[in-house]
C-alpha cells in the first residue's frame, strides 16, 4: 500500500444556503482554501471525486454542474458517488493506491433545506414495503433509540450527556450551526419531540459543502508539515431491514473498525446524527473510555447531508495537523439507523 | 507504483426488455449477477466487495437504491460502493470495481449496473422543468439532436449515414439473445422512412428505453489463473468536462479525445484502427457512431462517417463496432455502459456467441454521459498485459 | 431583497413497480387480508419476506402465513406527520412482531398520545377498506386486548389473481433557488435587459452569468449588456410529445448566440416554418407584453428571424 495522507480540508455549514442546489458558488471558495493550504492549483490535482444526491437537490444529474467549480478545461480525471463524500474519498484513495495518480481533491455538497429532509430520506427505504408509509428519518432513529433503552443499553440521560457534550464542544467550532451546552438536567427538562427523542437528540437540518485534499508520499510531505497519514480505511454495509437487524448494533461499523484498526486512537470523530447513535458507535468501534469523541461537536452541531461524513474525517485530520493528536479516527454513516459505515484512521509522524 | 493486473472472469446480463414486469429491481440485478457468478464459477460468498452503478435515482424513485438492495445483492456484511456519473456510469462503475483489484485491496469484486426504466419515464425524469428557464428541453434526444446537426454540417456527411448505423446495429442485435429490439426487417430504407422525432434524428435512429442489468466479476492475477479465458484489463480511463462552456466543442469533445489518447498509450496502442479487433461504443443515437470514431482517434476528424458508410464498422469490417447491437438495440441506461465494457470482454474471451468477431484479441469498451462530457473507457485483451 | 430568486418545484411521479414473485405473494396476501411471511434457511419467519435468503442467497420459497395480531417491540412518537404517512394526525410508528413471525415489521400504530403506547403491548392490523395489493392495505395497527397468540402456518392458496405490480406515487416539494449570478440575470430580464458577465480569467462573456466559469473555475464578474439579436448556431425540431412537456410540438429548440456573447443558450424559434430554420440564421428576441413579465427567460416569448443575411459559418463554427 502507498502512504497517502490528508493534506487539505475546507468546509461550510449553514442552516439555509440561499444559492442553487448545484452548490457551485459554495464549492469555489472551498477549492480556493484547499489551494491556499497546499500551494497547489487545480492542475496539481490528479483525480477529482465527489459525493452528492439527486434526490436532495430534487433533480437528475445534480452533480453535473458542480464540475464547473473545478474549471474543467483541460478536462479532468473525475468521478462521482451517490453517497456521502467520505466514500468519494475512499474512491480517491483507491485511485492513488493503483498508482495512476498521486493527488486527489474530494468534495461533497448538499442543500438539505431545499426539500423536507426527513421525508425525502424515506425514499432510501424499501420501495415496496416501506417507502409507501413514508417512515421519516427521525421516526426510524426513534425506533432504534427505544430499542436500546428497552434493552437497558442506554437511557435518556446517557443520550442527553452526548448532546450536552456535543453542544458544549460546538461552541469552539465556527462552522457549527447548533451550539451551546447547558446541563444534562436542563436538556432532560426540555420537552419530548419524537418520544424518546428530544430535538437536541437529532442533528439539525444543515446545508453545506466540504473539500479535502489527498496526496501520496513526498507529494504530501511537500505541502504539509504534519500530514494526516491514512493507516486504515474500510467500509461495510448491513441489510436495510429494520426488522431483521438488531437495531442496537451496527455490525458494519464494528467490521470497518476492526479492518481499519483502532488501537491507540486518541480522538474519534463519529458521524452520529442522533445522540444514541454515538453510543452505538462507541461500542461497535471498541473505543476506549479515554478517547476524545467529537471535539468538533459532531453531527448534532451540524449535519450537511452527503458532506457530514467527510467533515468528520476532516475534523479528525485537523487534530493531527495541529499536533493535538498522533492517532485519530474519522467515521461516516449512511442509510437509515447506521446501515452503512466507513472508518478511516490517520496518524501523524514525527 | 504499477497497477496490479486484473481480469474479467465472469459476465452476466439480463434479457433486456421495455418492461421486465416479471421481476423486481433485486430480481433484475440478480438475474445478471447469477449469470456472472456462474460464468466465473464463484458464489456470492467468494466475493470481497460489490460496486453498484445506476443512472439518476429519479428513474426508479428510490434514493440510493443500493441500500435497500444490499442484502438481495449479497452485499450485506461486505463493502458496497455506488457510482453515479450520468450515462457513462456503467463504464465508470466497472473502472471503480477494477481499481479495487488494481489497488491490491481486494481479490474478487462483483460489479453490477442496472436500470428499470419502466418504473417511471426517462423523458419525464430528464426534463423536470427548472424555474426561470426556458422549458424547451426534450429529453436526451432533444439535447443531442442539435449536436448531431452540427456534426453533419461540419463533416459534410450524407444524411443516410445515421440510418446505416441503425440498420447495422439492429441486424447485429439479432445475433444477441439478450438484446431488447429484435426486428429482422430493419434496413437503411426502413430507418429513413421512420418518423423524425428530434429533427435530424429519426425514430429508428434512437435507442429504446429498456429494463436490464449487467454484472461482472473482476479478479486478481492469482484468481484469474483458474479461468480458461480471462479478459485482461489493458487500460482504463475516465475524463470529464463541463456541460456548457464558451466555445466548447460539443461534437468532438476534448474530454473524449484526451481520454482516448491516454487509453491507447496505456494499452500500448499506436494505431487503434489496426490494433483494436472489436469496439463496443456508446451510441444511443445512430450518428454518434461516426462522431465517436473520430473522437476516439479511429479516423481523422470529419472522416468517421466514411468508415461507417464503407461498411468498415460492420461485423465483417475493419473495425466491427457494436456487434452486440449496442445501445441502439438495448438501453437500460445505467447498465448500458457496463454492457459495452462487458461485451468488449466477451469478445476477447471468445465468448460472444453468434456475434463473436473471429480471433478478437483486443477490444474497446466505451461509455459517455451527461452532455457528452463524461467519458469512461477500457481496453481489454486476451493476453495478460506485458507492462 | 433576497440575494437569490427562488421558486417552488414539485417532483411527482406515480412509479409502476413490478414486484417479482416473492413480494407479489406478500402483496397478494395483504389484498386478501392475509399476512404472508417466509421461513428463511435459519428457520426464522420474516415479514415482509426478503426476496433472497440472507444466508444462502437463493430466492426464498418457504412461504408461511402469520396472524394479524402481534406485539410491539419498539415505538416512536410522530408529533408532526409528513405528507403520505398512514395517519395525518400524531401517531406512533412501531415495530410489531406478528404472532407467528420471529422478527418485527414497521407500520403505524393509531393511538392519540405517547402515553397509550408501551413496548410489549398487543396490537392488531386495521385493514384498509379498499385493498389493492400494497403495504398500505394495512391501514395501521390498533391496540387490542383480546388477541390470543397465533402461530405461523404453511401458506395456502392465494387465488389465481396474483399481484404483480404496485403503483407508488412519489411527490416531493422543493424550493429551487437560482445562483446569485443567475438571479441577477433573471432580474435584468424582468426589466427587459439581457445581461452577461465576463470571466475575469479567460475573458469570455457568459449568458446567463455563472458562479464558476467552467473553463477556469472562477466566478464571472464584469457585467456586459448584450444585444437582443443573435445567430442560430444549431437546433433541433422537437416533434415528440412527452409527459410534463410545456410547449406543444412541433417546435424548434435552438442555440442562440447573442451578439457579444461567447456562449449560446437554448430558446424557441417561431415566425418561420420549422423546416426553414437554418444554422447561421440571424434572429432577434420577441418579448412578451410587459405586463406578463416576471423574473424568467420566458419573458422572451421566442426568437424571430431578423431578415438579415445568414451569418457566415466561420463566425459561429467554434460554438458548435
Sketch the domain layout of chain A as residue ranges.
4-116+205-228, 123-203+231-347
Longest dimension (CA), chain A: 58
> In the complex, which subunits touch A with 3 or more CB pairs below 8 angstroms?
B, C
C78 Cα to chain A: minimum distance (Å) = 6
Q: What are phi and psi of A135, to 5 degrees?
A: -70, 120
**pLDDT single digits (tens) C55-100:** 999 999 999 999 999 999 999 999 999 999 999 999 999 999 999 9
> In the complex, which subunits touch B with 3 or more CB pairs below 8 angstroms?
A, C
- pLDDT(C165) > 80: yes
- CB contact under 8 Å between C217 and A136, yes or no, is no
**Computed over its alpha carbons, how large is the radius of gyration of chain A?**
19
| Dihedral sign from CA coordinates of B90, B93, B97, B98 | positive
Residue A120 contacts C where some CB pair is shorter than 8 Å: yes
Residue in A with minimal Cα distance to C96: A243
Q: What's the confidence (pLDDT) of residue B138?
A: 78
**pLDDT single digits (tens) A257-308:** 999 999 999 999 999 999 999 999 999 999 999 999 999 999 999 999 999 9
A183 Cα to chain B: minimum distance (Å) = 37
Predicted confidence band at C243 (pLDDT cuts at 50, 70, 90)?
A: confident
Which residues in chain C have Cβ-Cβ distances shorter than 8 Å to B20?
18
- For chains A and C, what is the number of CB pairs under 8 angstroms? 201
- CB contact under 8 Å between A114 and C174, yes or no, is yes
- CB contact under 8 Å between A68 and C211, yes or no, is yes
- pLDDT(B91) > 80: yes
Exposed/middle/buried for C241, CB within 10 Å: 0-12, 13-18, 19+?
Answer: exposed
Q: Which CATH superfamily is domain A4-116+205-228 in?
A: Thiolase/Chalcone synthase (3.40.47.10)
Q: Which of A21, A127, A334 would you mutate first to test chain B, the one with the most B CBs within 10 A?
A: A127
Average pLDDT for consecutive 10-residue bins of chain A (350 residues)? 97 96 95 98 98 92 92 96 98 98 98 96 98 98 98 98 98 97 96 97 98 98 97 98 96 98 97 98 96 98 98 98 97 98 95
Which residues in chain A have Cβ-Cβ distances shorter than 8 Å to C108?
133
Q: Which of B47, B69, B146 would you mutate first to test chain C, the one with the most C CBs within 10 A?
A: B146
- Higher pLDDT, residue C147 or A30: A30
Which residues in chain B have Cβ-Cβ distances shorter than 8 Å to A125?
68
Q: Whose grid coordinates read 438571479?
A: C183
- pLDDT(B130) > 90: no
Which residues in chain A have Cβ-Cβ distances shorter than 8 Å to C114?
192, 195
Q: Which residues 178-207 of B have a C-beta within 8 angstroms of C?
A: 195-201
B108 Cα to chain A: minimum distance (Å) = 15
Q: What's the confidence (pLDDT) of residue B1?
A: 60
Residue in A with minimal Cα distance to C169: A132
Out of A58, A81, A130, closest to residue B82 by CB: A81
A308 Cα to chain C: minimum distance (Å) = 21
C66 Cα to chain B: minimum distance (Å) = 23
Q: What are phi and psi of A337, to 5 degrees?
A: 50, 50
- pLDDT(C150) > 90: no
Domains A4-116+205-228 and A123-203+231-347 share a fold: yes
- CB contact under 8 Å between C214 and B245, yes or no, is yes
Q: Which residues 84-143 of B have a C-beta within 8 angstroms of C?
A: 116, 118-121, 123-125, 127-139, 141-142
Residue A71 contacts C where some CB pair is shorter than 8 Å: yes
**pLDDT single digits (tens) A129-140:** 999 999 999 999
- pLDDT(C249) > 90: no
Which residues in chain A have Cβ-Cβ distances shorter than 8 Å to C83?
119, 134
- CB contact under 8 Å between B125 and A87, yes or no, is no
B236 Cα to chain C: minimum distance (Å) = 25
Out of B62, B239, B374, closest to residue A123 by CB: B62
**Computed over its alpha carbons, how large is the radius of gyration of chain B?**
19
Once rounded to an integer, what is the mean pLDDT over residues B181-188?
A: 96
Predicted confidence band at C13 (pLDDT cuts at 50, 70, 90)?
A: very high
Q: Which fold has domain A123-203+231-347?
A: Peroxisomal Thiolase; Chain A, domain 1 (3.40.47)
Q: d(Cα C265, Cα C208) in Å, to the nearest integer?
A: 8
Out of B27, B149, B241, closest to residue C236 by CB: B149
Q: Which of C137, C179, C213, C262 would you mutate first to test chain A, the one with the most A CBs within 10 A?
A: C179
B54 Cα to chain C: minimum distance (Å) = 17
**Computed over its alpha carbons, how large is the radius of gyration of chain C?**
30
Question: Residue ranges per domain, chain B?
Answer: 6-121+208-224
Q: What's the confidence (pLDDT) of residue B122?
A: 82
Q: d(Cα B161, Cα B152) in Å, to the nearest integer?
A: 10
Does domain B6-121+208-224 match CATH 3.40.47.10? yes
Under 8 Å between Cβ of C135 and A130: yes
Residue B156 contacts C where some CB pair is shorter than 8 Å: no
What cell was used for B35?
A: 449469470
B357 Cα to chain C: minimum distance (Å) = 35
Q: d(Cα C265, Cα C257) in Å, to the nearest integer?
A: 7
- pLDDT(B180) > 70: yes
Beta-ladder partners of B366: B377
Q: Whose grid coordinates read 421558486?
A: C7
CA angle A218, A223, A228 (to 5 degrees): 75
Q: What's the confidence (pLDDT) of residue B387?
A: 59
Which residues in chain A have Cβ-Cβ distances shorter than 8 Å to C3?
18-19
Under 8 Å between Cβ of C46 and C17: no
3-state helix vs strand vs coil in chain B, percent to 5: 40, 20, 40
Q: Closest by alpha carbon to B102, among B8, B228, B226, B227?
A: B8
A172 Cα to chain C: minimum distance (Å) = 29
Q: Closest by alpha carbon to A341, among A275, A276, A280, A263?
A: A280
A140 Cα to chain C: minimum distance (Å) = 8
- CB contact under 8 Å between B22 and C13, yes or no, is no
- pLDDT(C1) > 80: no
Q: What's the confidence (pLDDT) of residue A61?
A: 83
> In the complex, which subunits touch C with 3 or more CB pairs below 8 angstroms?
A, B
Q: CA of B382: how far to CAs of A199, B224, B376, in Å?
A: 60, 12, 21
Q: Which of C14, C18, C53, C263 would you mutate first to test chain B, the one with the most B CBs within 10 A?
A: C18
- CB contact under 8 Å between A71 and C214, yes or no, is yes
Residue A55 contacts C where some CB pair is shorter than 8 Å: yes
Once rounded to an integer, what is the mean pLDDT over residues C121-146?
A: 96
- pLDDT(B346) > 90: yes
Which ipTM did the prediction report? 0.98
Beta-ladder partners of C229: C284
Once rounded to an integer, what is the mean pLDDT over residues B263-278?
A: 98
Which residues in chain B have Cβ-Cβ distances shorter than 8 Å to C235?
146, 149
What cell was used for C306?
A: 431578423
Residue in B with minimal Cα distance to A341: B79
Q: Closest by alpha carbon to B286, among B154, B194, B178, B386?
A: B194
Question: Residue ranges per domain, chain C?
Answer: 6-171, 179-226, 229-320
Which residues in chain A have Cβ-Cβ distances shorter than 8 Å to C50?
239, 241, 244
What are the residues whose beta carbons fall under 8 Å from the beta carbon of B344, sequence distance 6 or more? B231, B278, B279, B280, B363, B364, B365, B378, B379, B380
Q: Of A22-36, A205-219, C140-154, C161-175, give the lowest mean pLDDT range.
A: C140-154
Amino acid at each position: 500500500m502507498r502512504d497517502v495522507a490528508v493534506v487539505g480540508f475546507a468546509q461550510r455549514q449553514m442552516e439555509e444556503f440561499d444559492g442553487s442546489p448545484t452548490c457551485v458558488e459554495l464549492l469555489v471558495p472551498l477549492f480556493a482554501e484547499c489551494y491556499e493550504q497546499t500551494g497547489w492549483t487545480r492542475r496539481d490535482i490528479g483525480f477529482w471525486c465527489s459525493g452528492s444526491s439527486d434526490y436532495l437537490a430534487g433533480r437528475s444529474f445534480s452533480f453535473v454542474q458542480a464540475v464547473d467549480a473545478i474549471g474543467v478545461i483541460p478536462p479532468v480525471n473525475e468521478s462521482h458517488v451517490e453517497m456521502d463524500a467520505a466514500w468519494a474519498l475512499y474512491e480517491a484513495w483507491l485511485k492513488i493506491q493503483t498508482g495512476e495518480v498521486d493527488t486527489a481533491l474530494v468534495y461533497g455538497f448538499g442543500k438539505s433545506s431545499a426539500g423536507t429532509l426527513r421525508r425525502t430520506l424515506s425514499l432510501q427505504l424499501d420501495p415496496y414495503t416501506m417507502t409507501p408509509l413514508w417512515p421519516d428519518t427521525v421516526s426510524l432513529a426513534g425506533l432504534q433509540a427505544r430499542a436500546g433503552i428497552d434493552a437497558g443499553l442506554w437511557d435518556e440521560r446517557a443520550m442527553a450527556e452526548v448532546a450536552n457534550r456535543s453542544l458544549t464542544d460546538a461552541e469552539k467550532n465556527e462552522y457549527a450551526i447548533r451550539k451551546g451546552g447547558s446541563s444534562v438536567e436542563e436538556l432532560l427538562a426540555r420537552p419530548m419531540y419524537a418520544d424518546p427523542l428530544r430535538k437536541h437528540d437529532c442533528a439539525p437540518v444543515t446545508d453545506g459543502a466540504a473539500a479535502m485534499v489527498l496526496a501520496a508520499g513526498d507529494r504530501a510531505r511537500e505541502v504539509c508539515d504534519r500530514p494526516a497519514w491514512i493507516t486504515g480505511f474500510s467500509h461495510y454495509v448491513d441489510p436495510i431491514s429494520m426488522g431483521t437487524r438488531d437495531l442496537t448494533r451496527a455490525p458494519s461499523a464494528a467490521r470497518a473498525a476492526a479492518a481499519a484498526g483502532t488501537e491507540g486512537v486518541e480522538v474519534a470523530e463519529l458521524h452520529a446524527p442522533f445522540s444514541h447513535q454515538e453510543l452505538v458507535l462507541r461500542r461497535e468501534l471498541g473505543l476506549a473510555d479515554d478517547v476524545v469523541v467529537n471535539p468538533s461537536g459532531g453531527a448534532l452541531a451540524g449535519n450537511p447531508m452527503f458532506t457530514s461524513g467527510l467533515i468528520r474525517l476532516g475534523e479528525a485530520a485537523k487534530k493531527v495537523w495541529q499536533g493535538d493528536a498522533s492517532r485519530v479516527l474519522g467515521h461516516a454513516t449512511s442509510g437509515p439507523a447506521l446501515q452503512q459505515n466507513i472508518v478511516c484512521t490517520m496518524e501523524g509522524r514525527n | 507504483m504499477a497497477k496490479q493486473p486484473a481480469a474479467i472472469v465472469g459476465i452476466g446480463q439480463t434479457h433486456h426488455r421495455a418492461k421486465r414486469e416479471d421481476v423486481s429491481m433485486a430480481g433484475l440485478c440478480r438475474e445478471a449477477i447469477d449469470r456472472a457468478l456462474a460464468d466465473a464459477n464463484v458464489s456470492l460468498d467468494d466475493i470481497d466487495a460489490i460496486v453498484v452503478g445506476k443512472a439518476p435515482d429519479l428513474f426508479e424513485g428510490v434514493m440510493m437504491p443500493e441500500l435497500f438492495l444490499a442484502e438481495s445483492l449479497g452485499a450485506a456484511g461486505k463493502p458496497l460502493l455506488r457510482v453515479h456519473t450520468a450515462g457513462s456510469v456503467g463504464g465508470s462503475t466497472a473502472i471503480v470495481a477494477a481499481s479495487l483489484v488494481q489497488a491490491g485491496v481486494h481479490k474478487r469484486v462483483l460489479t453490477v449496473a442496472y436500470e428499470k426504466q419502466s418504473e417511471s419515464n426517462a423523458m419525464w425524469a430528464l426534463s423536470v422543468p427548472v424555474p426561470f428557464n426556458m422549458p424547451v428541453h426534450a429529453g436526451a434526444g432533444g439535447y443531442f439532436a442539435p449536436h448531431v446537426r452540427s456534426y453533419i454540417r461540419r463533416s459534410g456527411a450524407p444524411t443516410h449515414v445515421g440510418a446505416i448505423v441503425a440498420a447495422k446495429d439492429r441486424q447485429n442485435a439479432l445475433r444477441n439473445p439478450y438484446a431488447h429490439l429484435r426486428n429482422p426487417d430493419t434496413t437503411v430504407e426502413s430507418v429513413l422512412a421512420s418518423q423524425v422525432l428530434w429533427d435530424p434524428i429519426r425514430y429508428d435512429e434512437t435507442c429504446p428505453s429498456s429494463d436490464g442489468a449487467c454484472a461482472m466479476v473482476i479478479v486478481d492475477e492469482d484468481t484469474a489463473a483458474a479461468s480458461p479465458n480471462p479478459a485482461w484489463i489493458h487500460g482504463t480511463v475516465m475524463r470529464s468536462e463541463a456541460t456548457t462552456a464558451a466555445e466548447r466543442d460539443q461534437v468532438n469533445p476534448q474530454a473524449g479525445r484526451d481520454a482516448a489518447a491516454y487509453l491507447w498509450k496505456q494499452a500500448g496502442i499506436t494505431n487503434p484502427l489496426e490494433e483494436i479487433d472489436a469496439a463496443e461504443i456508446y451510441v444511443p443515437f445512430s450518428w454518434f457512431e461516426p462522431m465517436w470514431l473520430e473522437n476516439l482517434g479511429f479516423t481523422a476528424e470529419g472522416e468517421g462517417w466514411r468508415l461507417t458508410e464503407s461498411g468498415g464498422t460492420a461485423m465483417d469490417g475493419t473495425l466491427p463496432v457494436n456487434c452486440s447491437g449496442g445501445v441502439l438495440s438495448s438501453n437500460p441506461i445505467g447498465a448500458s455502459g457496463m454492457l459495452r465494457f462487458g461485451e468488449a470482454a466477451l469478445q476477447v474471451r471468445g465468448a460472444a456467441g453468434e456475434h463473436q468477431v473471429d480471433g478478437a484479441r483486443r477490444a474497446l469498451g466505451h461509455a459517455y454521459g451527461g452532455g457528452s462530457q463524461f467519458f469512461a473507457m477500457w481496453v481489454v485483451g486476451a493476453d495478460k498485459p506485458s507492462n | 431583497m433576497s440575494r437569490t430568486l427562488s421558486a417552488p418545484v414539485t417532483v411527482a411521479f406515480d412509479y409502476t413497480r413490478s414486484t417479482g414473485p416473492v413480494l407479489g405473494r406478500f402483496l397478494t396476501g395483504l389484498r386478501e387480508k392475509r399476512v404472508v411471511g417466509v421461513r428463511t434457511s435459519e428457520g426464522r419467519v420474516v415479514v415482509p419476506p426478503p426476496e433472497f435468503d440472507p444466508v444462502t442467497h437463493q430466492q426464498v420459497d418457504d412461504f408461511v402465513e402469520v396472524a394479524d395480531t402481534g406485539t410491539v417491540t419498539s415505538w416512536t412518537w410522530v408529533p408532526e406527520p409528513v405528507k403520505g404517512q398512514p395517519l395525518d394526525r400524531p401517531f406512533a410508528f412501531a415495530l410489531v412482531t406478528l404472532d407467528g413471525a420471529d422478527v418485527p415489521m414497521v407500520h403505524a400504530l393509531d393511538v392519540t398520545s405517547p402515553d397509550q403506547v408501551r413496548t410489549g403491548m398487543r396490537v392488531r392490523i386495521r385493514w384498509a377498506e379498499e385493498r389493492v395489493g400494497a403495504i398500505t392495505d394495512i391501514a395501521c395497527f390498533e391496540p387490542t386486548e383480546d388477541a390470543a397468540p397465533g402461530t405461523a402456518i404453511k401458506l395456502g392458496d392465494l387465488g389465481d389473481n396474483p399481484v404483480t405490480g404496485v403503483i407508488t406515487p412519489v411527490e416531493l416539494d422543493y424550493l429551487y433557488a437560482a445562483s446569485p449570478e443567475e438571479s441577477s440575470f433573471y432580474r435584468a430580464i424582468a426589466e427587459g435587459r439581457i445581461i452577461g458577465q465576463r470571466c475575469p480569467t479567460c475573458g469570455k462573456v457568459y449568458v446567463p452569468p455563472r458562479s464558476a466559469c467552467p473553463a477556469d473555475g472562477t466566478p464571472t464578474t464584469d457585467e456586459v449588456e448584450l444585444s437582443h439579436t443573435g445567430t442560430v448556431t444549431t437546433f433541433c425540431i422537437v416533434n415528440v410529445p412527452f409527459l410534463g412537456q410545456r410547449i406543444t410540438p412541433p417546435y424548434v429548440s435552438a442555440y442562440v448566440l447573442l451578439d457579444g456573447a461567447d456562449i449560446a443558450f437554448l430558446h424557441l424559434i417561431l415566425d418561420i416554418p420549422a423546416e426553414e430554420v437554418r444554422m447561421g440564421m440571424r434572429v432577434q428576441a420577441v418579448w412578451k407584453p410587459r405586463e406578463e413579465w416576471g423574473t424568467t427567460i420566458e419573458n422572451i416569448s421566442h426568437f424571430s428571424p431578423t431578415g438579415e443575411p445568414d451569418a457566415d459559418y466561420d463566425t459561429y463554427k467554434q460554438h458548435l
